Structure formats: C-alpha cells, structure tokens
Amino acid sequence: MAAFLAALSLPCTAFAGPEEDRLAFVSFFQSRFPDILFDEFANGIYAIDADSRAQWLEIEEFPPYEFAIEHGQSLWQKPFSNGSAYADCFKQPLAEVRAAYPAFDAGRAEVVTLEVAINDCRVANDETPFAYDASELIDLTAYLGYTARGKKIDVQIPADEPGALAAYEYGKRFYYSKRGQLNFACADCHVTSVGMRVRADRLSASLGHPTHFPVYRSKLGGMISLQQRFFGCVRDVRARPFELQSTEYRNLEFFLAYMSNGLTINGPGARK
C-alpha cells in the first residue's frame, strides 16, 4: 500500500498521467474489496458496510432528500426577472447538466463546478448569485443530480490543455497532503484506512465519493454539498478550511471526479 500511495503522490510524468492514476486507484479498491463490483462504489459506505446498507435501504423507501428535489425543480423552472431561465444557460439536455461538471474551462483557465455554473447563469441574467452554502443552490444541484441518475461521470483532461492537467495535479497533491494539527491527509481516512471504524462508523472509499452529492446528512438534519464535506473534513483535522468553491476545493473536486470516471451518478443521497 505504501508504494501505491507513493506512486499516486508523485507528479505526472511523460510515462504516467491521470488515466494511469485512475486505473491504479480503481485497482487498489477492487483489490481491497474483491467481492464488490465496480459499480457498487457509487453507493459509498453502503457498498462495504452491510449493516449500514440495510439501514440505508429502509431510509430510501421514504427519502429525506425529496423535499430538496421538489424545491430545486421549482427553482429551476421559475423564470428570472428578464424572462429567461436556467435552462437557457446550459447547452446540455436537462438530464445531462449534472454530468457535465466539474469541467476545466480553457477560456477561464480554471475548473468550473456545477455550483459556479449556476451562479454564472444568475449573474448573466442580472440575478444575485447564491451564497455557496445557500439551501436554494444545494436544492438546485439536488434536482439536477436526480435528473442525471443513470448517467456516468466522465471528466475530461484534454492532452492539449496543460491548464486542465495542472488543475488535476493540484487536486491530487491536495488529496495526499498532510494538514492540520492532526497531520492527516484525505487519503489517510478514505484510502489507507478505508473500511475501518471511527467510533461507530466505517470510513468510506474515495472511489465514488462525488457520485451522490449533495446528500441529506441525518446528523445535521439537512442537505450539504460535496465542498461543504471538504470544508468539514479540513476543519476536523484542525486545519483552517478554505472558502467554498475556492480554487483549492474546485481542483480537489476535479481530481476526485476524474478518479470516479465510469461510475453512475445517483444523487442526491442520504448519509449518516
């Protein structure tokens, strides 16, 4: 395992790149959990913890995130003051909007997430952008995640776009870098210690993390975004969190989404 982590933490060279990283990433988790099919990793901890899975299946009979989907749909369909709507900002059919993000925008030379794209749409139509922790924005992404169920994550890093590769490498370094007073990296919990217990809960696999956000978290009694989860993890290792939708978190999301290429979007989700 040490050799695996060391290999992933090295910058890409002419002999290795994002796809080699991804294949090694997937291989690690499939070797660690040989009885779990690749597609099952889209279900997070419920792929590897039978007790949690049984509870989850019961919860899914009356999903606690339904209200977010309904609210998000009403927001999506409500016209702006100028008569335009969110659908006018996106080239993709409704079911494909969520799957189009995160993506590297060469013109802006940065990663654009779904949340950033929604706020760009609002600004372009003379509407005030949402705060990145606003329930309205999270509910919009919940609706778009729901409409995208069954679509595959397919993040692209074009060979002729050095900025995309640089963003990926930044996110990769972030993921494997130690930080905070506890001196933990993201990978310490979700790669090295995957499946192990932290108090009463098991640590989930990194593979598949982006598939099901935003999620309803029972312990919080509400919906949170993937980047709010980043924020909480950084805070929990006693480091200073970055702002939501910072370059750091957008690049981290870009890396994790690429690692999960080929898995099915199944958000929004329900988690403890």
Q: Domains of the chain, with CATH numbers? A: 2-63+158-260 (1.10.760.10), 66-147 (1.10.760.10)
Q: E strands within 107-202?
A: 110-112, 197-198, 201-202
Please state the rounded mean pLDDT for residues 239-243: 97
Span 173-220, pLDDT tens digits: 999 999 999 999 999 999 999 999 877 788 999 999 999 999 999 989
- In contact, 127 and 81? CB cutoff 8 Å: yes
pTM: 0.93
Q: Give the pair of three-digit tokens for residue 179.
A: 């930080």
Q: Give the pair of three-digit tokens for residue 155.
A: 């993040």
| Residues labelled as active-site residues | 233
**How far from 168 is each of 30, 150, 155, 161, 256, CA to CA, in Å?**
23, 25, 11, 11, 9
Does residue 146 carry a pLDDT above 50?
A: yes
Listed in sequence order, the residues at least 6 apart from 175 whose beta carbon sits closer than 8 Å to its beta carbon are 185, 186, 187, 206, 252, 255, 256
Band of the pLDDT at 272, cuts 50, 70, 90? Answer: confident
Q: E strands within 127-247?
A: 197-198, 201-202, 215-217, 222-224
Q: Give the pair of three-digit tokens for residue 39.
A: 């597609």
Please tell me the predicted confidence (pLDDT) of residue 10.
41
Please tell me the predicted confidence (pLDDT) of residue 16.
67
Band of the pLDDT at 153, cuts 50, 70, 90? Answer: very high
